Amino acid sequence: MTTIKTAENYLSGQVLLIDKPLNWTSFQVVNKLRWEIRQAFNIKKIKVGHAGTLDPLATGLLVICTGKMTKQIDRFQGQEKEYTGTIILGSTTPSYDLESEINEIFPTKHINEDLIHETTKQFIGEIEQFPPIFSALKKDGKRLYEYARAGETVEVKSRKIVISDFEITAIDNLNIHFRVICSKGTYIRSLANDFGKALNSGGHLSTLRRTKIGDFSVTNALKIDNFIDSLKKNT
């Protein structure tokens, strides 16, 4: 990753690869980096944005654009993404992940490794997916999660997504470890929920890590503290 040494570098536009920590929102990461850049170089105003939201309970690659490179955010967002994570079978949550408590238990005795591997084939290619009700998508001016947290029921339309690869990397009792390559707009939480249904059981996401966006890889990303340290060394 190129070391940035001047304020002009950031204002003219940079692409920063950040490894988002657990329990941070993507918005918090952007705000933190914007503040640190402004403080380090005494910049009054600078544009900073990210190319694709990660949920607070997810970790991994955030592509952060500064200055004039923010004009490229839509292009980066449209690229394929790779994730790794874990689905817990036999139970569901309203949010499809660990943000909410388990609300239903399902049988799992009929599930074996062959069935798990075979079921992944149903999700390869272009499929219809319903976004989670606990999501930041807007309906009638409100975020879906606002309706969900208020106990209100709203109609959520499905949308077409593309899953290029859905690989089971390990099976540990009811913990199913996976790798997915998918298009923009894919909700891995919804995939976990739908995968459980396809197994005639239930499922919810317990861990999620984004590993790639297009040609960008989390292996080249910096932790937030490391990025801040690099700023201090350059000022």
Q: Which of 19, 55, 97, 194 is catalytic?
A: 55
Q: How far apart are CA 235 and CA 222, in angstroms?
A: 18
- The strand ranges marked E within the chain are 14-20, 48-50, 59-66, 81-89, 91-92, 104-105, 125-129, 138-139, 142-143, 159-172, 175-182, 203-213, 216-217
Question: If DSSP codes are grouped into helix, strand and coil, which group holds residue 196?
Answer: helix
Q: What angle do CA 12, 14, 18 make, to 5 degrees?
A: 155
Query: Cβ(88)–Cβ(204) under 8 Å?
Result: yes
Respond yes or no: is residue 19 known to be catalytic.
no
> Are the beta carbons of 67 and 16 closer than 8 angstroms?
no
Report the catalytic residues. 55
